[in-house]
Structure 1
Amino acid sequence: MRLTVTPENLLEWIALKINMVPLPLLHAQIFPIVGKAVLEAADKGVFEAVHKGKQTVDEIAAECRLHPKALRELMGLLLVLGYFKQRDGRYTLTRISQRWVLKDHDESVFGMMLFNNRVVWPWFEQLGNYLQTGEGIQYHDHLTTDQWAYYQQAMLAATGTEAKEFGRKAPIPKNATRMLDIGGSHGQHSVALCKKLPDLQAIILDLPPAIEQAAPLLARAGMGDRVRHQAGNALTDDFGESQYDIVLLSSLAHHFSNEQNREVARKVARALKPGGVYIINEFIRPETDGKSDGVGTNLVGNSMDLFYGLTSTAGNYAISEIQSWQTDAGLKLSKVKSYLSIPGRAMVVAKK
């Protein structure tokens, strides 16, 4: 899956083919306004207003307290992007908007859109400094209480679809009874596996500020004591010995350095029961030698690598790097599982 410029007629195809179209101009001028327009539309309640039946620009503007002229321009762009259909001046939602953008839909990414618009967008102003100094933001150290809340809602939104696929595809022992979910916050991955295995119980190890905001999100799953939080820090806590059948590290390795991930893997190997599995769930950075890793698009892996470098100073890792942490800890490699719903993302699995 790639983000591309698609010609709409033969002349445009020829212009692209012979390099007449200044693609860098599109990247620099068009893509930023596209991203910000989608975020602002979600934040300002435009999609929700149309869902309520406000179909004309004037009706939507009144509902959202927006300027009609500015909103008409926004709606024109969102129409082209496929978020709306329009007929006789009346707008309706497309299937994309209905499934992915409405905040009450169980697969909605609305939480991530709100977090990106209200918290993340200003971070991009620091990219130039990061490129000069290599010093990232380390945002976990600076989030306010409100920002932690946005962050946890975003993580919940980002994994709604992924967790379902994880529950179907994760290669886990069928008789597993204990799981450690490191940095699992909202607990969707643990919940998915516990629904699959009736005897499984999971502990979610996370930072206290994360638990404070994630606990209400986990409570919605109604898993009672089968999935519970435990305050801690993966870098400093001991995980015990021969305690768990499954250990999951999802969307956390990119916050840690190479050596920190090695140390976590060593503690995980000690904590696993014989036959237990260690799953590292991450966006994958493409191999530097150009060899295919079977995960998919370079756009996702490379863009998230830069984003995580800027925001937490580590970044994505290639599959070979992740597997080296596992093998150095004495674990045996298993098959890598890629996601259909989240391009560029994979489960890197090892067994004890």
Structure 2
Amino acid sequence: MRLTVTPESLLEWIALKINLVPLPLLHAQIFPIVGKAVLEAADKGIFDAVHAGKQTVEEIAVECQLHPKALRELMGLLTVLGYFRCHEGRYTLTRISRRWLLKNNEESVFGMMVFNNRVVWPWLDQLGKYLQTGEGIQYHDHLTTQQWAYYQQAMVAATSTEAKEFGRKAPVPKTATHMLDIGGSHGQHSVALCRKMPHLQAVILDLPQAIEQAAPLLARAGMGDRVRHQAGNALTDDFGENRYDIVLMSSLAHHFSDKQNREVARKVAKALKPGGVYIVNEFIRPESDGEAGAVGTNLVGSSMDLFYGLTSTAGNYSIREIQSWQTAAGLKPFKVKTYLSIPGRAMVAAKK
């Protein structure tokens, strides 16, 4: 998946073809404004206000306590972007907005919008320092209680669609009864598998401060004792021996160094039953920069590699690197499953 500049006329096509359009200026000037505009619109409740019937700029401004002139400018941009339609001064939501941006929709990414706007956006100011020093923010060490709450809501928003696809496609033993979900916090991946496999039970190992904010989110799934939290730390805890048919580590490897991921894989291999499966679920970095056809050569995988480097120092890993951890631990890599809903992301599975 790529964000592209699409010409709207033959002359614009020619201008792009002969390199007359300064694309770096569009990236540097237009894209940041677009990103911040969408974040602020979600955070200020504009999409929900229109959904509730506030259709004119004046009505939306009153509902959201915004300045009418500034709001009119924002609505113009959001309409061009395809988030609203406007007819005779009245705005309505498009299909994209109705599905993905309303606060209470099951598939909504609203939580990620709020987290990115209130917490992540200031982090981007540190990118220059990261490029000079190579030292990331290590944000897990600094989140406030409120920021942990935003973070967990964001993780639910980011994985609600992915978890459904994971439940359908994860290469796991059909007779599995015990699962360890490392760093799974909200538990959506475990819930998806447990709903599919009635005899499966899952333990979610996560940091205490993550569990505190994630527990109410997991409770909404209504899985009772079949999916439960266990406070701990993947880097320091022992996972036991011959206990699990499935071990999942989703969106956590990018926080760890290569050495740490190898140690986690060693403990996972020990904890798996014979025939058990270890799945590393991650955004994927290409084997080489710009390698054609590789998972992660799209904008999603590449931008997340830089983002995770900034925020956690480590960054994404390639499929080959992930499989090397599994192989070194005595496991046999056997399947890689990619996502339709989240381009640049994959399940890298190995079997004991």
Could you state the TM-score of these two structures normalised by the residue count of structure 2?
0.99
- Give the unaligned 5+ runs of structure 1: none
CA distance in 2, matches of 1:270, 1:293: 34
Per the alignment, do residues 199 and 55 of structure 1 end up closer, same or farther by CA in structure 2, a change over 3 Å counting?
A: same
Q: For the Cα contact (< 8 Å) 1:286–1:293, is it kept in 2?
A: no
CA distance in 2, matches of 1:292, 1:29: 28
CA distance in 2, matches of 1:225, 1:69: 53
Q: What residue number does 1:275 align with?
A: 275
CA distance in 1, matches of 2:64, 2:46: 7
Q: How far 1:298 moved relative to its partner?
A: 2.6
CA distance in 2, matches of 1:289, 1:146: 38
Q: For the Cα contact (< 8 Å) 1:282–1:346, is it kept in 2?
A: yes
Corresponding residue SS for 2:335? coil
Q: What residue number does 1:92 align with?
A: 92
Q: How far 1:295 moved relative to its partner?
A: 2.6
Q: Deviations over 1:173-193 (max 9, x none)?
A: 011000000000000000000
Q: Deviations over 1:198-217 (max 9, x none)?
A: 00000000000000000000
CA distance in 2, matches of 1:262, 1:293: 27
Q: For the Cα contact (< 8 Å) 1:286–1:298, is it kept in 2?
A: no
- What is the identity, as a one-letter code, of the residue corresponding to 1:68? P
1:298 aligns with 2:262: no
Q: How far 1:299 moved relative to its partner?
A: 1.4
Q: What residue number does 2:2 align with?
A: 2
CA distance in 1, matches of 2:168, 2:261: 26
Q: How far 1:268 moved relative to its partner?
A: 0.3
Q: What residue number does 1:81 align with?
A: 81
Q: Over aligned residues, Cα RMSD in angstroms?
A: 0.9
CA distance in 1, matches of 2:98, 2:156: 18
CA distance in 1, matches of 2:75, 2:14: 30
CA distance in 1, matches of 2:86, 2:301: 35
- Give the unaligned 5+ runs of structure 2: none
Query: Following superposition, which runs of at least 4 residues in structure 1 exceed 6 angstroms of deviation?
Result: none
Q: Deviations over 1:97-139 (max 9, x none)?
A: 0000001000000000000000000000100100011111000
Q: What residue number does 2:36 align with?
A: 36
Q: What residue number does 2:149 align with?
A: 149
Q: How far 1:300 moved relative to its partner?
A: 1.2
CA distance in 1, matches of 2:81, 2:190: 35
Corresponding residue SS for 1:334? strand
- What is the identity, as a one-letter code, of the residue corresponding to 2:324? S
Q: How far 1:316 moved relative to its partner?
A: 0.2
- Residues 13-32 of structure 1 correspond to what in structure 2 (within 5 A)? 13-32=13-32
Corresponding residue SS for 2:214? helix
Per the alignment, do residues 295 and 142 of structure 1 end up closer, same or farther by CA in structure 2, a change over 3 Å counting?
A: same
Q: What residue number does 1:191 align with?
A: 191
Q: How many residues align?
A: 352
